Structure 1
Amino acid sequence: MEWKSTNLTYRQTGYFSRLITDYLDEAENLSPFYSYPANAEGLRSALEARKAGKPVDRATLVSQLEEQYAGIADAFGDAPKVRENIASLARPNTFTLCTAHQPAIFTGHLYFVYKILHTIRLAEWMAEQYPEHHFVPVFYMGSEDADLEELGQIALGGEHLVWETKQSGAVGRMSTKGLDKLYHRIDGELSVQPYGRQLMALLKEAYLESPDIQTATFKMVHRLFAEWGLLVLIADKAAFKKQMIAVFEDDLFRQEPSRIVGESIDRLSKSYDIQANPRNINLFYLKDDLRGRIEKVGDDYKVHGSALAFTEAGIREELHRFPERFSPNVILRGLFQETILPNLAFIGGGGETAYWLELKGLFDHYRTPFPVLVLRSSFQLVEKQWMEKMERAGFGVEDLFRDEQDLMTELVKRDSTQTLSLEEEIAVANQYYESLKALARPVDPTLEEHVAALQVKAIEPIRLLEKKLLKAEKRKFGDQQRQIHQVKEALFPGGNLQERVENILPWYALHGPGIIKQLYAHSPVWGGFVVLVES
């Protein structure tokens, strides 16, 4: 089935912060916080900077990816572009474009899919512009995140389904045990749809036949996007962490990252809300089912939530012997990503873009190229029935994002046969009081203020009457009000953007791979807010 698209600006939707809209408008006060603008010229500059900058350890990157993909049966059987892209990373003329997300179960929110497709589209565009180079889309899995409360649930049919598990630590390392209950709950609802059986087979392979969440997510993303050559990267490896030892030592022993990012935040916070704040130490200790914050207490380094403690010499030895046991938080994660990848652009949401703007000073300090920050595409999926209801009420696509009461006010004023505006009466009253001012002024100029006060008191009840007339008339339009409310509830669950609440599974069960292909086809290279209406 085809979908019809309408592109809106992020500002039109009313759901994006001033920081983000200012960034998109290239506001001058934000220019110190990024290296290159999110446009064609910015990516050209980023490409030149990467070519001239410090080299990436491509041999390690390729070997780790090959080892990772060897764990998936027939990983390249129907995905020759994946094999080709891995091999190409060994060559100095290959660069990546990257998005990132934690391993939320069953892909989490809809924007999980949107950001990946945007990354694929941007990589393809770069390949068209620079045919002498090779560009690889990468999904960097934040498998070390420990926020199970966020990552262990999905919304389905208006219900929040929660993975009941007592595991702790990095979510990516957690066993998939217990997900079978959620699988069967989902199966009962989705398997009756046209592509439900196909979807459930995919979920079974990914989540019920994998030892841990990061492997399950890896399989799921690979099966959905391998045809476009997307590489999934699990960076929770000693070989990658080893490349960050010098930075981790700076963080542990000198707190340099905290100081640098703190200075950027001081400047940024004068105009905007801050997305992420650094700690003195921005590392977690990661081992088995533990991911505990490292804190310096006196002369020792303690792991929050455990009895573990190290001397300075002890934690230094631990870092050099077991770098995989050290996990960067949000302040250092981006630097880690850009250290191990020959990357040009990071495609992220509003929150991600906001915290990346805090980090440029950190990249400058460690002489690491700062990527172009591209705000990911957003979509609003609108089923045919909802658009038809809006059109019957006399509204179009752009009106979907307007306040419900504003829509009803316009509808009633437009369709009512009654006089609901008292602007003429208010104008007459204002004229009357202006004439009184003219009479009073020559007698005593101070009386003009008295008349002005009387004018305000007289106009106020007329305005109140106008509101009551409109409210009373709205009751006659009950059917239209119920329809508009129904549409708003369906498309903006809980008053939020659909993409921040819903999951891709029901859409896939109904439309199959076609929904992914439609999203791909309509994903703008440079981002935007796209309303996709079922036709």
Structure 2
Amino acid sequence: MADCLPFRSTGYFSDLISDYIEEKQNLKPFYNRFPSIDNFKDQIEEKSKSYNSDNRKGLVEVLKNQYGSLSTSDKTQQHIDLLLEDSTFTVTTGHQLNLFTGPLYFLYKIVSTINLAKQLKEKYPDSNFAPVYWMASEDHDFEEINFFNFRQQKIEWKKETEGAVGHLSTSGLEELASSIEKEFGKSDNAEYLKGLFKVAYLEHETLASATQFLANELFGEYGLVVLNADDASLKSMFSKHVINDLLYHTAFRQTEKQADKLADLGYNIQVNPREINLFYMHEGIRERIVKQDDKYLVIDSDLSFSENEILDLVEKYPERFSPNVVMRPLYQEVILPNLAYIGGGGELAYWLELKSLFEAENVTFPMLMLRNSVLIYSEKTSKKLDRLDTPIQDLFLTPQALEAKQTRKNSSIDINFQNQKKTLEDQFKELYELAEKTDKSFYGAVAAQEKKQKNGLDHLEKRLLKAQKRKLKDENDRVLELQRMLFPNESLQERTLNFSEIYIDHGSQLIQDLFDELDPFQFEFLCLELTIYNTKS
């Protein structure tokens, strides 16, 4: 069972993303095509003409090498092989290498992407579509990915690190595996998850290889292709764009203009470009490249290069140049025959700053799709809400607004002074008519008195609401407790919970239910009751 509500009404999505989903006219210059199933026809044609088909062979070679030690499903292998053909395209999502997948929306991103590929194949049978998970293996923000939450506990990997997280050794995770052994319990589903964690992190040497194994185990049977773009041969396909950034600062000039235009429209800017949007990544470091006078310096190091030296490095060692958040999307679209990027609100916000950069670099701008968002709740929780006469949508309110709404609904007294305010306005209407026959000072006195009395009614209404809240405290507390359970730390469930917490009770049916319910073209927030989801809630 599922209910939907508009993203805007949830209160958790920015005006920029809400306006984009609603196809507001002022945002149309910032993207190529809106992601409707019919618009993919023109996107396919444009990408066919602009994509360098020579890249296909190199891409497939890299994928086959990266899948060399994995048990590859027939569907995934078929997608990899089909990428050699000019009629095959990708649809892509990206995500950090969070420990044990991190927050729930990792699943939603990938399910959205796989379902999109499936729908495109049905609509355009003459083409093929491979769903790709782009691992953000070059990020270096370890504190963002070194934990996951399980039943209100933070399971954290403590380690001194530097450089790209994909290169991190998984040594030392034995202690965490022992902790999970106790926390997860002994059910069949728990045993599966514990085994999955151990094989992923204790039998793979790096965080990148562990994450690739994990994603492949969860989604390989559905044909997901996992790509680690931290590769010298892939980077060599991107070299001319790296040079443009180093010499001409194309990304800075183009993205800054777009960001300024968005700011002029009143939107918050997600990322600010730098003059050079590249890191130098080598021997355990990943640090920004900056230009001072005629030298290229690597921040927090002794490395310094002349222009000729750094261009020589780009040619000989392209893998040492790691794109930042501004350049990474361009890198993705250069090496993949990609049609669409599926991401969260924050991701789409910075993509909307990039269209002019893509135009300047002669790369087709992908269609931008907001990933599915889901609130999962149990049948037992649904029955509690029914008894309390509270629709699931009400739980998206702030706790204060939810308590006030519940109080007004359940109070035997009408906590609404609108009728009294209307009577007051009628009375003052006569006074205003009288005031118009006198001087301005009397008119001002009438207006001041009306405002005073309306304020008095507002105060009384608040006092009455407060009194009724106390009277209905037990009933309100039951609703607020359900809200705290489904919105931990007053945040969306999908940003906090790890899939393991639900999987233990629901098993592999959880993923199948998501495939059945998530429609990538349904741009609404999904509230999903899992009818066989057993939990204490």
Q: Which of the five TM-score ranges fits, normalised by the shorter chain?
A: over 0.9
- Describe the SS at the equivalent of 2:162: coil
Aligned to 2:534: none
Structure 2: gaps (5+ residues):
532-537
Find 1:251's aligned residue among 233, 241, 245: 245
- Describe the SS at the equivalent of 1:530: strand
Aligned to 2:380: 385
Aligned to 2:230: 236
Q: Does 1:352 align with 2:350?
A: no
Deviations 1:32-71 (A, max 9, x none): 1111111123211110111222423111011111111002
Find 1:185's aligned residue among 179, 196, 207: 179
Given that residues 393 and 411 in structure 1 are in contact (C-alpha distance below 8 angstroms), is that contact kept between their aligned partners in structure 2? no
Alpha-carbon distance, 1:445 to partner: 5.3
> Which one-letter code corresponds to 1:529 in the other structure?
F
Aligned to 1:318: 313
Say if 1:462 and 1:514 are closer, same or farther in 2 by CA, change over 3 A: same
Aligned to 1:530: 526
Alpha-carbon distance, 1:419 to partner: 4.6
> Which one-letter code corresponds to 1:434 in the other structure?
K
Q: Does 1:427 align with 2:422?
A: yes
Report how many residues are paired: 528
> Which one-letter code corresponds to 2:527 in the other structure?
V
How far apart in 2 are the matches of 1:410 and 1:255? Answer: 53
How far apart in 2 are the matches of 1:333 and 1:152? Answer: 22
Find 2:262's aligned residue among 254, 257, 268: 268
Q: Does 1:489 align with 2:478?
A: no
Q: Does 1:225 align with 2:219?
A: yes
Identity %: 38
Given that residues 428 and 450 in structure 2 are in contact (C-alpha distance below 8 angstroms), is that contact kept between their aligned partners in structure 1? yes
After alignment, is 208-217 or 270-279 more displaced? Answer: 270-279
How far apart in 1 are the matches of 2:11 and 2:60? Answer: 43
Aligned to 1:83: 77
Find 2:5's aligned residue among 8, 20, 27: 8
Aligned to 1:450: 445
Say if 1:427 and 1:83 are closer, same or farther in 2 by CA, change over 3 A: closer
Alpha-carbon distance, 1:258 to partner: 1.0
Aligned to 1:30: 27
Aligned to 2:114: 120
Find 2:469's aligned residue among 457, 474, 478: 474
> Which one-letter code corresponds to 2:525 in the other structure?
F
Alpha-carbon distance, 1:148 to partner: 0.4
How far apart in 1 are the matches of 2:326 and 2:414? Answer: 59
Find 2:17's aligned residue among 6, 15, 20: 20
Structure 1: gaps (5+ residues):
none
Find 1:63's aligned residue among 61, 64, 86: 61
After superposition, residues 112-151 of structure 1 pair within 5 angstroms as 112-151=106-145
> Which one-letter code corresponds to 2:278 in the other structure?
L
Alpha-carbon distance, 1:443 to partner: 4.3
- Describe the SS at the equivalent of 2:264: coil
Given that residues 348 and 368 in structure 2 are in contact (C-alpha distance below 8 angstroms), is that contact kept between their aligned partners in structure 1? yes
Deviations 1:428-466 (A, max 9, x none): 333333333344443445412212211222232222112
Given that residues 102 and 147 in structure 2 are in contact (C-alpha distance below 8 angstroms), is that contact kept between their aligned partners in structure 1? yes
> Which one-letter code corresponds to 1:50 in the other structure?
K
How far apart in 2 are the matches of 1:121 and 1:95? Answer: 14
How far apart in 1 are the matches of 2:371 and 2:416? Answer: 43
After alignment, is 444-453 or 8-17 more displaced? Answer: 444-453
> Which one-letter code corresponds to 2:403 in the other structure?
M
- Describe the SS at the equivalent of 1:330: coil
How far apart in 2 are the matches of 1:148 and 1:90? Answer: 35
How far apart in 2 are the matches of 1:348 and 1:20? Answer: 11
After alignment, is 218-227 or 37-46 more displaced? Answer: 37-46
Deviations 1:148-167 (A, max 9, x none): 01011212211222211112
Find 1:212's aligned residue among 203, 206, 222: 206
After alignment, is 425-434 or 124-133 more displaced? Answer: 425-434
How far apart in 1 are the matches of 2:194 and 2:155? Answer: 16
Q: Does 1:46 align with 2:43?
A: yes
After alignment, is 362-371 or 446-455 more displaced? Answer: 446-455
TM-score relative to the length of structure 1: 0.95
- Describe the SS at the equivalent of 2:237: helix
How far apart in 2 are the matches of 1:164 and 1:35? Answer: 43
The alignment's C-alpha RMSD in Å is 1.6
- Describe the SS at the equivalent of 1:226: helix
Aligned to 2:281: 286
TM-score relative to the length of structure 2: 0.95
After alignment, is 178-187 or 274-283 more displaced? Answer: 178-187
Given that residues 261 and 361 in structure 1 are in contact (C-alpha distance below 8 angstroms), is that contact kept between their aligned partners in structure 2? yes
How far apart in 2 are the matches of 1:139 and 1:24? Answer: 23
- Describe the SS at the equivalent of 2:327: helix
Find 1:405's aligned residue among 379, 400, 406: 400
- Describe the SS at the equivalent of 1:276: coil
Given that residues 371 and 520 in structure 2 are in contact (C-alpha distance below 8 angstroms), is that contact kept between their aligned partners in structure 1? no
How far apart in 1 are the matches of 2:122 and 2:137? Answer: 32
> Which one-letter code corresponds to 1:278 in the other structure?
P
Alpha-carbon distance, 1:340 to partner: 0.8
